Amino acid sequence: MTKTQIVCHRGACRLAPENTIVSGHMAAMLGGNFIELDLRQSRDGELYVLHDLTLERTTNGQGRISDMDAVDLDTLDAGTWFSEEFAGEPLPRFSAFLETLSGVADFYIEVKQADPDAVAQAVLKAGLRDRCFTYSETPQMREAMRNAAPWMKRMVNWRDLQSIEDARAIHDAQIVEFHAPDLTGDRLDAARALGLEVMVFTPLRDEVTFRRALSLNVNYLNIDYPELAYHLRKVLQ
């Protein structure tokens, strides 16, 4: 039996500043297998790991990342907002994030706003062709990523679908994600019948959901608390 892969939502985001290299390292040390990251692009075309459209929440910068150049973004502090312990943690370039963390984890890349061809080239340059999967919230970006990187696994969320068959027929996806309340036995069976891998997502410290997902042997568990999932997996799988 293949063990459920623990996907760390924005790294160890409850213990370190989200979407930073230190958060990724911590996630791996706590038992994570994949690091989920969000991807955006600077005005001059550099890819950065950042969730929000703007910089204020998780850095000491201001404004949209798409309105700033790399030379300025590289000076930002992406750690102090979380804790003084992480003061000076940089806003990571995607290339540095992959290079630094590829020795300890694989990657789930959520493309927020970025050139799909640049994303694909960065993954190939890092030698991670078979160690990443991708998702985007908009159908336009999902289609663009499929065209730019047809070799990369693609995920689609249950809430993007009219029926489970659409995951294959329309989205050409290999993975379907369910928010924890959306996963029913019938939906799980239908996904597996189509040969889809299944991921369960919850941002909550929800041991009941963790235990259920692990007992069902889903392929991926996308969570904010990798340490708890890791210890439960040792018991249940």
- Are 116 and 141 a contacting pair, CB within 8 Å? yes
Q: What are phi and psi of 201, to 5 degrees?
A: -120, 135
Cα separation of 110 and 37, whole Å? 6
Average pLDDT over residues 127-138: 98
Average pLDDT, the chain: 98
Whole-model pTM: value is: 0.97
pLDDT tens digit sequence for 79-117: 999 999 999 999 999 999 999 999 999 999 999 999 999
Question: 101, 94, 127, 132: which is closest to 5 by C-alpha?
Answer: 132
pLDDT of 147 > 80? The answer is: yes
Question: What is residue 2's predicted lDDT score, i.e. its pLDDT?
Answer: 83
Categorize the per-residue pLDDT at 1 as very low, low, confident or very high, splitting at 50, 70 and 90: low
Q: Percent of the chain having pLDDT more than 90?
A: 99
- Are 62 and 73 a contacting pair, CB within 8 Å? no
Average pLDDT over residues 160-177: 97
pLDDT of 232 > 80? The answer is: yes
Helix and strand element counts for the chain (H, E) = 9, 9
Question: Amino acid identity, residue 42?
Answer: S
Average pLDDT over residues 209-226: 98
Cα separation of 220 and 199, whole Å? 4
- Are 151 and 129 a contacting pair, CB within 8 Å? yes
Cα separation of 219 and 3, whole Å? 7
List all residues 6 or more positions away from 56 whose beta carbon is below 8 Å from its beta carbon. 62
- The SS3 of residue 230 is helix
Tell me which DSSP letter residue 80 carries.
Answer: T
Domains within the chain, CATH numbers bracketed: 5-40+96-236 (3.20.20.190)
Question: What is residue 139's predicted lDDT score, i.e. its pLDDT?
Answer: 96
Question: Amino acid identity, residue 36?
Answer: E
